[in-house]
Chains A and B, each alone.
Chain A
Amino acid sequence: MRAGSSKCGRWLSARTAEKAQAATDAALAAVFREEAGRLTAALVHVLGDFDLAEEVVQDSLVAALEKWPEQGIPEKPGAWLMTTARRRAIDILRRDKRYREKLALLERTPLAPEPTEADDRLRLIFTCCHPALAQEAQVALTLRAVAGFTTTEIASAFLLPEATVAQRIVRAKRKIVDAHIPYRMPDQVELAGRLDGVLSVLYLMFNEGYLSRGAQVAMRRDLADDALWLTGLVATLMPDQAEVIGLLALMTLNLARSKARFDKAGEMVLLPDQDRALWDGAAIAEGVQLLERAGAMRATGPYQVQGAIAALHSEAPSWEETDWHQIVVLYESLIRMADSPVVRLNRAVALSHFAGPEMALGEVNDLAMALDGYHLFHATRADLLDRTGEPALAREARLRALELCQNPAERSLLERKLRRSPRA
């Protein structure tokens, strides 16, 4: 009768179970991201096969998700996962005669990777972020192989059907095999370009998580936290790359404000209206310190500049007292490094507080062709039109922004502003 009573117990203690579950989830996430990348790297090393290694690690994570919430996290979670992954690999290899040699090798290999072994996760990251793979596949593969996400978790983090994510991963791994994408660190000539690729994957991951934070979707994994963790890992493994530290600073500074980004009702609050007392002072100090460390390396780049802009916002006592002049200067240097219509849009916003909304509006209007499909272009234009006293045009722009906007929190913000504005 055990099954029956436990089922009944589960119903009765749903709330307690939920609490316990949440605690386990956080612990599981921490264990997975510590272990998954090492495990995958170690197994690629033994098996010489990225696809198989990645697959069996994923299987071991799924097995852990089934067992650990009930049995508790084992004392040596890494060894548990390794044993499970290894067993699974042996199963797969036994079925295939071509792998006889690998099988023998695997059966001789110790249970856990040697502690002295150099951290091979960097190679893993660079392989997952190879430019020959579509960027969305790079993101999914990095989350799975390096941070220990399951396919289900990636799907829920990106609000995608699980089948879509699974197919992306299968396709990417097939391409790695078919096109012979090497499992190695890029050489010196390629390194700068390839690192840029890795950083843009990490930043994309971060933004995806950061924007949807506070939204109702309950998630086992927090994408923004994991992106921060991954960037920290790259920073540890490549300590002399200023832009990696710049990105880490940028993420740290943005996360420092996250408590103020949503009000009690779950509605999004933009920077000018945020309660600055809710900002995390320690995290801001840490972000600024990271920026100084990066700056000392004398190799400036777009992430450091964006970090510096974030720092100026974080250190301003109020929206009005922000050092807009300095922010405009930083946006100008960003334009010289990595010009894009979006950067120009942001510069125009800063300019509006420094040189007036009319001038900024002129600059924003010049971007109409390039940014017509971007909701924040229309939302920014609407705010500027409000300030120049053209509510009817502002309303029109805001409606267009709403049409283009997907994110629920941003949509609700636009809708609130629309309700407040008078109808034409």
Chain B
Amino acid sequence: MKYVLMFADTVEDQGTWEKLPQEQMAAAYESINKWFDEHSRSGKIVGGEELRGPSSSTTVRFKHGKPIVTDGPYIEAKEVVGGFAIVEVKDLDEALAMAKTWPGGGEGRIVEVRPVVER
């Protein structure tokens, strides 16, 4: 079963993250890289990326079928998606176990787990 793990953070934590001092940032990345490395070695990670912050986001919205380009993410939310991983595991429990060990982000971080449509 393939799932996407979407990593999100609260807007406040995202702000803190961006202003993190160099060495703390490095330490945070190290734990994230370790998570990816460990799960890649066991063959559970198929892909994944870190996304730039929401201030870099641009939205194309269709109005009556016509595309309109606007600045910012498409929904005003209290949480922002910061990255994702595509994982290949046995079942939801295994995907949830991975999500529970996700180290990246603040104390209030969020991981949404969604199955991928497989044809």
**Distance in Å from the Cβ of A127 to the closest Cβ of chain B?**
11
Residues of A within 8 A of B115 (CB): 178-180
Question: For chain B, which range describes its interface: under 10, 10 to 19, 20 to 34, or 35 or more residues?
Answer: under 10
In the complex, which of the residues A179, A182, A190 has the most CB atoms of chain B within 10 Å of its own CB atom? A179
Q: Are A180 and B1 in contact (CB under 8 A)?
A: yes
Q: Which residues of B contact A184 (CB under 8 A)?
A: 93
Q: Which of B79-119 contact A (CB under 8 A)?
A: 90-93, 96-97, 113, 115
Q: Chain A's nearest CB lies how many Å from the CB of B42? A: 16
Total count of chain A residues near the partner, CB < 8 A: 11
Give the distance in Å from the alpha carbon of A184 to the alpha carbon of B94 in the complex. 12
- Chain A contact residues: over half helix, strand or loop, or mixed? loop
Q: Which one of B90, B91, B93 has the highest number of Cβ atoms from chain A below 10 Å of its Cβ?
A: B93
A190 touches B92 (CB 8 A): no
> Which single residue of chain B is at the shortest CB-CB distance from A183?
B91
What is the CB-to-nearest-CB distance from B119 to chain A, in angstroms, rounded to a whole number?
14
Enumerate chain B residues within 8 angstroms of A179, measured Cβ to Cβ.
92, 113, 115
- Return the chain B residue nearest A182 by Cβ: B91
Shortest CB distance B47–A (Å): 19
Q: Residues of B contacting A186 with CB < 8 Å?
A: 93
Report the minimal beta-carbon distance from B117 to chain A, rounded to whole angstroms.
Answer: 9
> How far apart are B9's CB and chain A's nearest CB, in angstroms?
22
CA A186 to CA B93, docked complex, whole Å = 9
Name the residue of chain B whose CB is nearest to the CB of A193: B100
List which A154-191 residues lie within 8 A (CB) of chain B. Answer: 178-182, 184, 186, 189-190
Q: B1, B90, B92, B97: which contacts A132 (Cβ < 8 A)?
A: B92
A-to-B contact residues, CB < 8 Å: 130, 132, 178-182, 184, 186, 189-190
In the complex, besides A182-B91, A182-B93, A184-B93, 19 extra interface pairs with C-beta distance below 8 angstroms are A130-B92, A132-B92, A132-B96, A178-B115, A179-B92, A179-B113, A179-B115, A180-B1, A180-B91, A180-B115, A181-B91, A181-B92, A181-B93, A182-B90, A182-B92, A186-B93, A189-B97, A190-B93, A190-B97
The 9 closest A-B pairs by CB, nearest first: A182-B91, A180-B1, A180-B91, A179-B92, A181-B92, A179-B115, A180-B92, A182-B93, A132-B92
